[in-house]
Amino acid sequence: MKDAGIKGRIASDTMFKGIIIVLSFCAILPMFLILFFIAKNGIAVIDWDFLTRLPSPVGETGGGVANAIIGTALLIVIASVLSVPLGIFAGIYISEYKKTRLSHYSRLSVEILQGIPSIVIGIIAYVWVVVPLGSFSAFSGGIALAMMMLPVIVMATDETLRLIPPSLKEAALALGASYPSTVLKIVLPAGLSGIVTGIILAIARIAGETAPLLFTAFGNPYMTYNILKPVNSMPLMVFTYATSPYPEWHSLAWGASFVLLVFVLALNIFAKLGIRKWKVQF
C-alpha cells in the first residue's frame, strides 16, 4: 500500500466502491427472483374458486385452499389471544421496573425465547398439549405459535414504553391519577403505535411458520372450525403439496405460496409504514 501511487490508491478506492455496490445488489437479487418466480407460477392458479374451494384429491385439477385460509386465521387468532395480553403486561413490567432482578431475568428469558428454533417450540407444544389431549389440534398449534409471538410482543412493548418520557407519567401521577390508570390510560396509549406494530410483525412472523405446526396442527384436507381437531394452514399446505410428486398439487402449492407471500409481505410493509405514520414524537 505504501508504495502505491496516488492513482493506484484512487483506482482501488473506486474498485472497492464498485464491488460493494455490485455485491449489495447481488444480495437483494434473490428477493426479486423469489417474488418473480412465485408470482409467475402462482398468479395463474388464483381465482375465486381457488380461495373458496377445498383441495382436490390426487389426479384432479383445480381445487382450492379455503380450509388452509380458515385454519391459518384460526391459528393466528388463538395465538394472538394467548400471547398479546401476556406479552404486553410482561413488557410493561420490564419497562416499568427496570432495576429489579425479575426484570433482568425476564428480559433475558425473552431474548432466549426469541432465539429458540421453531422446531423445538413445536416439540414443546407436542409434549405439553398434544400428548395430554391425545390428538393433534388447532389449539396446540395456536399455543406453539403463541410461544413464538410472545418474545416479539414483549420486546416491542418494552422498547416502545422506554421511549416515553417520564414527564408524561409524572404529570398524570401529579394530577392524582392512580398508578394503574396512569399506566393503562397515559403510558400505554402513548406507546400504542409501537406495540401495534410489534403485534403486526409478530403475526407476520407466525403466519409463515411451518415447523412448529408439523406435529401440532398437523394438517387436514377437510374444512374444520373445531379448535380441538387438526387444521391445515397455508405454510403447512405449501410444504405438504410442494414435496409431493404430483404436478396438480404443485400448482396448488404455487397458488398457496403466492397468497401467503402477499399476506406476509403486506403485513411487513404495513407495519413499516405504520411506524412512520403513527409514531408519536416527543
Partner 1 sequence: MESKRSVPRSFSKALPDGETVSCQSCRRLAVRYSRFALSEPAFRKTLTLSAVAVVVLLAGIFCSLLYASFPALQAMGFRFFIGTTWDPVTGEFGALPFVMGTLLTSFLALVISTFFSLPIAIFLGEYYRYGVVSSLVKTGIELLAGIPSVIYGFWGLFFLVPIVRALQLQVGAPPYGVGILTASCILAIMIIPYSASLGREMIALVPSDLKEAALSLGATRFEMVRKVILPYARSGIFAGILLSLGRALGETMAVTMVIGNANFIPKSLFAPANTMASIIANEFTEATGTIYLASLIEIALLLFVVTMIINLVGKFIVSRLRVEV
Q: Which is nearer to partner 1, 33 or 192 (CB)?
A: 33
Q: Which is nearer to partner 1, 54 or 123 (CB)?
A: 123
Handedness of CA 129, 138, 88, 160 (dihedral sign): positive
Output the smallest distance, CB 24 to partner 1, in A. Answer: 4
Q: Which is nearer to partner 1, 223 or 242 (CB)?
A: 242
Output the smallest distance, CB 160 to partner 1, in A. Answer: 16
Q: Which is nearer to partner 1, 104 or 225 (CB)?
A: 104
- Find out whether 145 and 79 touch, Cβ atoms under 8 Å: yes
Q: Which residues of 123-144 are buried (b: 16+ CB within 10 A; e: fewer)?
A: bbbbeebbeeeeebbbbbbbbb
Q: Which is nearer to partner 1, 48 or 247 (CB)?
A: 247
Write down the residue that cell numbers 389449539 correspond to. Answer: 139
Output the smallest distance, CB 206 to partner 1, in A. Answer: 10
What burial class does residue 69 get, using C-beta atoms within 10 Å of its C-beta: 0-12 exposed, 13-18 middle, 19+ buried?
buried
Q: Which is nearer to partner 1, 186 or 214 (CB)?
A: 214
Element (H, E) at 146: helix 138-162
Output the smallest distance, CB 48 to partner 1, in A. Answer: 23
Query: Which alpha helices (H) appear in 97-191, and where do they start and end?
Result: 101-115, 118-125, 131-133, 138-162, 166-174, 179-181, 188-190
Closest CA relative to residue 265, chosen from 73, 99, 93, 38: 38
Output the smallest distance, CB 140 to partner 1, in A. Answer: 13
Output the smallest distance, CB 77 to partner 1, in A. Answer: 19
